[in-house]
Each structure stands twice: as C-alpha cells, then as structure tokens.
Amino acid sequence: MSLPGHVAIIMDGNGRWAEKRGLERIEGHRRGAEIADAASHWCADLGIKYVTLYAFSTENWKRPEREVSFLFELMLVYIASQLQNMLDESVRMRFIGRINDLPEKLREFAKHIEARTASGKKLTVIVALNYGGRAEIVDSVNRFIESQRIDEKRRITEEDITGNLYLPEVPDPDLIIRTSGEERLSNFLMWQSIYSELYFTKTLWPDFTKEEFLEIMEEYSKRKRRFGAHQ
C-alpha cells in the first residue's frame, strides 16, 4: 500500500461533539487532544514521517476568552504529560504559526518542547498554533525582504517564498484530512497544499478512530497523483 509521507489534519468538531452530549465545549477539546495523540501514534506505526495538526488558527481568537484560555492550558498540560513518551519513541515536536504573539508561558513552553525533542527521528509532529496560511505567506515575503540588501532588490520567486516558510525543509503534505463534514481548508497550509490529496469525513474529531484512519490510508493508496501532468 502506498502511504503518504506527510499527513496534515484539520481536527474539527470538538465543540459540536461536546454539545451533542450536553457537555461544555472544553470537554470536546479535552477528548480531541487524546485523539490527536492517538493519531500521531497511528502515523508512527505506519512509518509516516510527518503529521501536522491544526490546533489553533489565527481566526480562533474570536472564540470566547474562557475557551481560548482552556485550549492553551490544555496544550501545556497534555503535551508536558507526553514529553517522556515522545523522547522514548523518538518523536520530534515542532510548532508553526505566529508563535511570538502567544502568551509568554505558552511561547516559552513551545521553545522548550522543540529543544527537548529535537533529536527525534521516527516521527515529526508539527503543531499549527496561532497559524494561518495567508499569514505564513505574508511572513515569508517579509522575511525574504528583510534578508535582502537595498542593492539586491529583485522580483520575488516561488522559491523565495518556499524557502522562507515557517518550516521550509518539511515536505508538502501528501494528504490533508478534515473531520466534521466541513469541506474547505480554512486557511490551512495554503501554499503547501496545491497538490495535496484531500479527504473529508463527517466524523467529528473526538469520534475519529484508527479504523477510519486506516480506511483513509487505503483510499489514498488508490489515488493517482499527477501533479498537473496529463495522463
């Protein structure tokens, strides 16, 4: 079976999952964190080298302050609880997004986790945090402009933008999965997703299972990726 080297996931539906059960939305996020951890293990078990998880977008600041605060605290507590497992299993964790705009405690925590797990080789888990695809492109262009001397002004190329993304060395996602029934990318990896295969499922993220994940891998293996070529 042909498997993707990089899977990206839009983990959607936590709030609706909780509301359907008469629970607070934060309980959906708590359950969603457990599924995110499980999905990382599924990827590692299959030999997938990269998984990117859309944890908090630049638009998510519009949510109630209590929910945002809970999400940040959940990340701190849950990721810290999994640190030793990541070290034991040779998992590297990295963060993309406007990390410098996050609360100091979370910002420093992200740096700490990246440093502690930097030697991980089996799987790289990329957490998109305060992330927006358009923001990444803007940041890339500005980073390139700032790197140029005044006498070196020239037209910007695709390679310039790609080389100044948050993690330019990471390959583009082969497959993007979105749960909860929504069928759009919602500002996720806009530059990197041009030839990604897309898979949309109605399953709410907290209900996502290993069985469904394996079914998606089977479906992916049957697709013919042409990258713009005529066949």
* First-residue to last-residue Cα distance in the chain: 22
* Cβ neighbours, 10 Å, residue 217: 20
- Tell me if 29 is assigned to a ligand binding site: yes
Question: Which of 12, 130, 164, 174 is the catalytic position?
Answer: 12
The CA-based angle 53-54-59, given to 5 degrees, is 170
Residue 34 burial class via C-beta count within 10 angstroms: exposed 0-12, middle 13-18, buried 19 and up: exposed
- Tell me if 191 is assigned to a ligand binding site: no
Beta carbons of 39 and 213 less than 8 angstroms apart: yes
- Tell me if 178 is assigned to a ligand binding site: yes
CA 33/CA 40 separation, integer angstroms: 11
**Dihedral angle, C-alpha 158, 161, 167, 169, nearest 10 °:** 40
Q: Where are the alpha helices (DSSP H) in the chain?
A: 14-20, 25-46, 65-88, 104-116, 133-147, 158-163, 210-222
Question: Which of 37, 45, 60, 172 is the catalytic position?
Answer: 60
- Tell me if 12 is assigned to a ligand binding site: yes
- Tell me if 6 is assigned to a ligand binding site: no
- Tell me if 59 is assigned to a ligand binding site: yes
- Tell me if 221 is assigned to a ligand binding site: no
Length of the chain: 231
- Tell me if 98 is assigned to a ligand binding site: no
The first and second tokens of residue 12, run together, are 């959607």
- Tell me if 58 is assigned to a ligand binding site: yes
85 is catalytic: no
142 is catalytic: no
- Tell me if 25 is assigned to a ligand binding site: yes
Q: Is the dihedral of CA 183, 196, 58, 83 positive or negative?
A: positive
- Tell me if 27 is assigned to a ligand binding site: no
- Tell me if 45 is assigned to a ligand binding site: no
- Tell me if 155 is assigned to a ligand binding site: no
**Binding-site positions:** 12-17, 25, 29, 57-59, 61, 63, 178, 184-186, 197
**Binding-site positions for substrate:** 13-17, 25, 29, 57-59, 61, 63, 178, 184-186
**Binding-site positions for Mg(2+):** 12, 197
Which residues does the annotation mark as catalytic? 12, 60
